[in-house]
Protein backbone atom coordinates (compact mmCIF):
# COMPACT_ATOMS: atom_id res chain seq x y z
CA UNK A 1 0.00 0.00 0.00
CA UNK A 2 1.26 3.45 -0.87
CA UNK A 3 0.61 6.03 1.81
CA UNK A 4 0.68 9.78 1.44
CA UNK A 5 1.58 10.89 4.98
CA UNK A 6 1.28 14.56 5.89
CA UNK A 7 2.51 16.60 8.83
CA UNK A 8 0.21 19.58 8.28
CA UNK A 9 0.95 23.22 8.96
CA UNK A 10 -0.90 26.48 8.60
CA UNK A 11 1.08 27.55 5.50
CA UNK A 12 3.40 24.67 4.58
CA UNK A 13 3.17 20.94 5.17
CA UNK A 14 5.63 18.08 5.07
CA UNK A 15 4.81 14.97 3.09
CA UNK A 16 6.18 11.50 2.64
CA UNK A 17 5.06 9.11 -0.08
CA UNK A 18 5.76 5.72 1.49
CA UNK A 19 5.30 2.13 0.30
CA UNK A 20 4.44 -0.10 3.24
CA UNK A 21 5.17 -3.28 1.27
CA UNK A 22 8.87 -2.70 0.71
CA UNK A 23 9.37 0.12 3.24
CA UNK A 24 10.52 2.53 0.53
CA UNK A 25 10.21 6.29 0.62
CA UNK A 26 9.28 7.43 -2.89
CA UNK A 27 9.14 11.13 -2.13
CA UNK A 28 9.70 13.51 0.76
CA UNK A 29 9.35 17.25 0.74
CA UNK A 30 7.85 20.35 2.29
CA UNK A 31 5.37 22.26 0.15
CA UNK A 32 3.18 25.28 0.50
CA UNK A 33 -0.30 23.98 1.22
CA UNK A 34 -1.81 25.17 -2.08
CA UNK A 35 0.97 23.36 -3.96
CA UNK A 36 0.37 20.24 -1.91
CA UNK A 37 -3.22 20.15 -3.14
CA UNK A 38 -1.90 20.06 -6.70
CA UNK A 39 0.70 17.45 -5.79
CA UNK A 40 -2.04 15.20 -4.43
CA UNK A 41 -3.68 15.17 -7.85
CA UNK A 42 -0.43 14.28 -9.58
CA UNK A 43 0.73 11.26 -7.54
CA UNK A 44 -0.72 7.80 -7.07
CA UNK A 45 -1.42 6.71 -3.50
CA UNK A 46 -3.85 4.37 -1.77
CA UNK A 47 -4.32 6.03 1.59
CA UNK A 48 -4.00 9.52 3.03
CA UNK A 49 -2.67 9.61 6.59
CA UNK A 50 -2.50 12.93 8.43
CA UNK A 51 -1.16 13.91 11.82
CA UNK A 52 -4.18 15.29 13.65
CA UNK A 53 -4.28 18.12 16.14
CA UNK A 54 -4.97 17.08 19.73
CA UNK A 55 -6.04 19.21 22.64
CA UNK A 56 -3.87 19.11 25.73
CA UNK A 57 -5.82 21.75 27.63
CA UNK A 58 -3.62 24.69 26.67
CA UNK A 59 -4.85 27.75 24.76
CA UNK A 60 -4.04 27.70 21.04
CA UNK A 61 -3.68 30.41 18.46
CA UNK A 62 -4.65 31.18 14.91
CA UNK A 63 -2.05 28.83 13.37
CA UNK A 64 -3.60 25.77 15.02
CA UNK A 65 -7.05 26.60 13.69
CA UNK A 66 -5.69 27.30 10.21
CA UNK A 67 -3.88 23.94 10.32
CA UNK A 68 -7.20 22.26 11.15
CA UNK A 69 -8.80 23.90 8.12
CA UNK A 70 -5.97 22.61 5.92
CA UNK A 71 -6.38 19.10 7.28
CA UNK A 72 -9.99 19.20 6.12
CA UNK A 73 -9.02 20.59 2.72
CA UNK A 74 -6.43 17.84 2.20
CA UNK A 75 -8.95 15.14 3.08
CA UNK A 76 -11.65 16.59 0.84
CA UNK A 77 -9.25 17.08 -2.06
CA UNK A 78 -7.79 13.57 -1.95
CA UNK A 79 -11.09 11.70 -2.38
CA UNK A 80 -9.27 8.69 -0.90
CA UNK A 81 -9.60 6.76 2.31
CA UNK A 82 -7.89 8.59 5.13
CA UNK A 83 -6.78 8.09 8.69
CA UNK A 84 -5.62 10.36 11.48
CA UNK A 85 -2.53 9.68 13.53
CA UNK A 86 -1.98 11.57 16.77
CA UNK A 87 1.46 12.52 18.06
CA UNK A 88 0.96 10.42 21.20
CA UNK A 89 0.40 7.35 18.96
CA UNK A 90 3.68 8.05 17.15
CA UNK A 91 5.56 8.37 20.43
CA UNK A 92 4.16 5.12 21.79
CA UNK A 93 4.57 3.14 18.57
CA UNK A 94 8.08 4.29 17.72
CA UNK A 95 9.57 4.86 21.18
CA UNK A 96 7.28 3.13 23.67
CA UNK A 97 7.07 6.27 25.80
CA UNK A 98 4.90 9.36 25.94
CA UNK A 99 8.00 11.26 27.12
CA UNK A 100 9.74 10.78 23.75
CA UNK A 101 11.08 13.94 22.12
CA UNK A 102 11.63 14.66 18.42
CA UNK A 103 15.23 13.43 18.65
CA UNK A 104 14.04 10.10 20.09
CA UNK A 105 11.52 9.72 17.29
CA UNK A 106 14.16 10.48 14.65
CA UNK A 107 16.50 7.89 16.12
CA UNK A 108 13.72 5.27 16.28
CA UNK A 109 12.95 5.88 12.60
CA UNK A 110 16.63 5.53 11.66
CA UNK A 111 16.83 2.33 13.73
CA UNK A 112 13.77 0.94 11.93
CA UNK A 113 14.59 1.92 8.34
CA UNK A 114 18.35 2.47 8.37
CA UNK A 115 20.40 5.56 7.60
CA UNK A 116 20.39 4.97 3.85
CA UNK A 117 16.59 5.05 3.51
CA UNK A 118 16.27 8.17 5.68
CA UNK A 119 18.83 10.26 3.78
CA UNK A 120 17.29 13.57 2.82
CA UNK A 121 14.93 13.66 5.79
CA UNK A 122 14.99 16.89 7.73
CA UNK A 123 12.74 19.21 9.70
CA UNK A 124 9.06 18.27 9.53
CA UNK A 125 9.70 15.48 7.05
CA UNK A 126 10.67 13.33 10.06
CA UNK A 127 7.21 13.98 11.49
CA UNK A 128 5.51 12.98 8.22
CA UNK A 129 7.61 9.80 8.13
CA UNK A 130 6.61 9.06 11.73
CA UNK A 131 2.97 9.38 10.64
CA UNK A 132 3.52 6.86 7.82
CA UNK A 133 5.37 4.34 10.00
CA UNK A 134 2.84 4.56 12.81
CA UNK A 135 -0.02 3.90 10.39
CA UNK A 136 1.83 1.03 8.74
Contact, 124 vs 100, CB < 8 A?
no
> Based on the number of CB atoms within 10 Å of its own CB, is 107 exposed (0-12), middle (13-18) or buried (19 or more)?
middle
Per-residue pLDDT for the chain (136 aa), expressed as one digit of tens each? 999 999 999 999 999 999 999 999 999 999 999 999 999 999 999 999 999 998 777 777 899 999 999 999 999 999 899 999 999 999 999 999 999 999 999 999 999 999 999 998 998 999 999 999 999 7
Q: What angle do CA 71, 73, 79 make, to 5 degrees?
A: 105
Other Cβ atoms less than 10 A from the Cβ of 129: the count is: 28
pLDDT confidence of residue 124: 94
pTM exceeds 0.85 for this model: yes
What residues contact 93, with CB distance under 8 A and at least 6 apart? Answer: 133, 134
Amino acid sequence: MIILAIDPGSEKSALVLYDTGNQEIYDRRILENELLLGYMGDVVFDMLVIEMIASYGMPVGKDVFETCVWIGRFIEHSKKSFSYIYRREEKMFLCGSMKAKDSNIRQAIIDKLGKEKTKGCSKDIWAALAVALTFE
